[in-house]
Structure 1
């Protein structure tokens, strides 16, 4: 019993939870003394990311972006178009994820309003050339004309760019949230993003030996993962590890990686500071 308690305490300590008000038995969440309430800022940061994901999937699945009401009147995204899916499974994945991300946008906007805040409008989003730039950077220039909408396989490569980032972003933001109810809702979104990531990673692993742009899928995914890791604080893994399937990207305790907002921004800005990549003019809101 004593050894179990010691191991548990060491484990919680590795997570930064010992002494931070986390209670294993009751799962109660106790706010740290004098912790500033920036919940609305954090939700708006998440909303910016959900705008990006929703735009990509809606265009790929249905050939449209968010409605004017859901976008808050922000500028239309550029570069997206409908994918001519040939694999019905992938089409269904795309449609389900698109509707999930659209629902996330609506839920976040409604929550911010309920808290007395103002949801940020959709910022300028590039879901065309930004993919090409990311592929070129990841492959050291070997892939010059990557098109995320060309076919089922390239679409899933595009999806891989986003899904793991969403998981790590929500995990990292958990420590910033004050209201336990908002934390629970954010955990729920994180879980859905993790389901999406599992779908994408499983498909890509099953097709790891297929060729695209002169490289195996496994090689392209490894390159994308390496680039995300380089600009986003490490914390990334491809779809294989030690020659075996690696569907779950996690640390040695099988816990999903967490990224700070700054690390997430470096990824979506493709290594730039303040703006660039998928957000040519940067995010909207106080965390950008």
Structure 2
């Protein structure tokens, strides 16, 4: 579980070193006329990590509400009042999703703690450059996602209705977080003095642990009836197919079994979605935005009805979304 309190001040200063936050990049020095300098790489770290912060607000809100701790988001610098929830569900007062008990409840608390820690950590190191939490839709957006994934067969999907639907809702987010951090790795200004890449890799690892946890739970329950005559495996695959249709023309999303997923041996589970080399997939910021907006090429919608939060440093993320 992430522990921001245990981070040393020097480590925090290394991550997103403030001297480089708004820089345009750096050119290698000491090059002679014989050896040409490599192209200058723009320092987009502030935009990258604020883009990530928007996603962390979303994940933290989702898990905190599931375990009845939504107000902790405000205490961490977010805003629980800007979270839209399904009618009749408050996400407060320690009241968890019906049926979310025992080991599964303990795991949900752990993931909620980690996502809340990510919000605190990124806000602390970005300081005045950290964006405010945008309005988040964890109600109608899930209904829209359920309809899209099932061709209209699943209506009124509510991830807080029971523990199985909670797992389906978590599945929508977790793989996206992993591929978002993986895809951002090539964009981060790799300067050992600020440690940005190493810290981002650490968050990526945590998101991957979360995704593996959720995928394992769904795989174990793959044969159970879920909704609209579909079992768990089929609903998971439908969600995967929908993400694939939103992020582009290629195939970089996978369900939890071999069925419907090219290259996965029939003998194998598919807890860890990888390419033929056993490497996790990447998504560009634009591909990630398509999924969380539930539409291609837009600037808002879905889980972010008003769009992502930007500021004078990050703007509207237009530069990122072109990469």
Task: Summarize the Cα distance change of 1:86–1:166 in structure 2 as closer, same or farther, 3 Å threshold.
Answer: closer
The number of residues matched between the two structures is 255
Distance in 2 separating the partners of 1:73 and 1:130: 18
Whether contact under 8 Å (2:292, 2:304) holds in the other structure is yes
Residue in structure 2 matched with residue 190 of structure 1 by the alignment:
204
Distance in 2 separating the partners of 1:144 and 1:41: 36
Distance in 1 separating the partners of 2:79 and 2:156: 31
Please say if 1:224 is aligned against 2:246.
no
Residue in structure 1 matched with residue 7 of structure 2 by the alignment:
none
Please say if 1:215 is aligned against 2:230.
yes
Q: Pick from 264, 270, 275: which aligns with 2:288?
A: 264
Residue in structure 1 matched with residue 270 of structure 2 by the alignment:
246
Larger relative helix fraction: 1
Please say if 1:154 is aligned against 2:152.
no
Over residues 212-248 of structure 1, what are the superposed CA-to-partner deviations in whole Å (9 max), with x where a residue is unaligned? Answer: 1121000000000000011113310000015441000
Please say if 1:46 is aligned against 2:71.
no
Q: TM-score, normalised by structure 1?
A: 0.84
Whether contact under 8 Å (1:54, 1:65) holds in the other structure is no
Distance in 2 separating the partners of 1:32 and 1:281: 39
Q: What is the root-mean-square deviation in Å for CA atoms of aligned residues?
A: 1.8
Q: Pick from 82, 102, 123: which aligns with 1:88?
A: 102
Q: Pick from 105, 108, 111: which aligns with 1:97?
A: 111
Residue in structure 2 matched with residue 237 of structure 1 by the alignment:
254
Task: Summarize the Cα distance change of 1:79–1:219 in structure 2 as closer, same or farther, 3 Å threshold.
Answer: same
* Structure 2: runs of 5 or more not aligned: 1-36, 260-265, 319-323
Over residues 1-42 of structure 1, what are the superposed CA-to-partner deviations in whole Å (9 max), with x where a residue is unaligned? Answer: xxxxxxxxxxxxxxxxxxxxxxxxxxxxxx964101111110
Distance in 2 separating the partners of 1:146 and 1:74: 22
Hey, which bits of structure 1, 4+ residues long, moved more than 2 A?
65-75, 84-87
Distance in 1 separating the partners of 2:72 and 2:183: 26
* Structure 1: runs of 5 or more not aligned: 1-30
Residue in structure 1 matched with residue 150 of structure 2 by the alignment:
139
Q: Which aligned pairs between 1:123-138 and structure 2 lie closer than 5 A?
A: 123-138=134-149
Task: Summarize the Cα distance change of 1:65–1:175 in structure 2 as closer, same or farther, 3 Å threshold.
Answer: farther
Residue in structure 1 matched with residue 32 of structure 2 by the alignment:
none
